[in-house]
Amino acid sequence: MKDKLSVVKIGGNVIEDEKALDIFLTAFAKLGGLKILVHGGGKLATQLATRLGIESKLIDGRRITDKDTVDIITMVYGGLVNKKIVAQLQAKNTNAIGLSGADGNSIHAHKRPVKDIDYGFVGDVDGINSELLTSLLSINLTPIFCAISHDGNGQLLNTNADTIASEIAIGMAQHFETTLYYCFEKKGVLLDIADDNSVVKHINTIKYNELLSDGIIADGMLPKLHNCFHALQNNVEKVCLGDVSMLDKKTELFTTLKL
């Protein structure tokens, strides 16, 4: 019988709010069993770029990652945000270790091919080093990943944090009974975006297609749920979406996805 593993991705809006982040990290620290945390950097990278006089380029809401931007996200995601999270978890008796995908060759990726748009130094994940992560977990270390991968040739790559969480969960599913959590400011997938309590509690493939055709799932939720079902189709046990109360079991009002 496999041990249980939780892979948790924290949303950018939570990271930007110190109080919300502390509440989240308290819940994460109390989460039983083996666990891995994945984070991005929210708007902090854009804010630093502005302070340094570096223009942030976005196309259809997606960041174009030029050389200067790679440096910025490395500073913010891999430095400031990652180490603050690690330090706060240490204070909560969780022996966290901060990592990027380059550390221990833990997340290998390739630069996204140029089609209609050149996104620059953006990585699409090829695979994760599950043996390394299993070794870290076996000595009671809790990996904390920022949203940076590498190509094996010395280039760091900006990589979607939702995708990294999904790929880590998939890679670890061969070793563990894995649950993937997307923890953000909403209580789950909502029928009505204006009503925080209109949570769709259970979604399978049939329900997902219904919600798609009804336009309930749209915009930023589309790629998130794509990552969810990609994980489920690759041996991840279940995927849950909701706010921090989902982690500390204070509510049943969150979304659970299964095939």
Question: What pLDDT, on a 0 to 100 scale, did the predictor assign at position 193?
Answer: 87
Phi, psi of 72 (to 5 degrees): -65, -50
161 close to 127: Cβ distance less than 8 angstroms = no
Provide the pLDDT for residue 124. 96
Check whether 7 has a pLDDT greater than 80: yes
The answer to whether residue 48 scores a pLDDT higher than 70 is yes
Number of domains in the chain: 1
62 is an annotated ligand-binding site residue: no
Structure tokens at 3: 């041990």
pLDDT tens sequence across 57-104? 877 667 789 999 999 999 999 999 999 999 999 999 999 999 999 999
The Cα–Cα gap between 15 and 224 comes to: 18
**Region 34-42 average pLDDT:** 93
Mean pLDDT value across residues 192-211:
94
The 255-257 sheet, strands edge to edge:
96-99, 142-146, 34-39, 4-10, 177-183, 238-242, 255-257, 202-203
On whether 158 is known to bind a ligand per the annotation, the reply is: yes
Closest CA to 180 of 140, 220, 234: 234
Q: Which domain range does residue 21 map to?
A: 4-257
Q: What is the structure's pLDDT at 61?
A: 62
Q: Summarize pLDDT for 113-138 with one digit per residue, the tens.
A: 998 889 999 999 999 999 999 999 99
- Of 74-78, 161-165, 245-249, minimum mean pLDDT range: 245-249
CATH label of the domain that carries residue 232: 3.40.1160.10
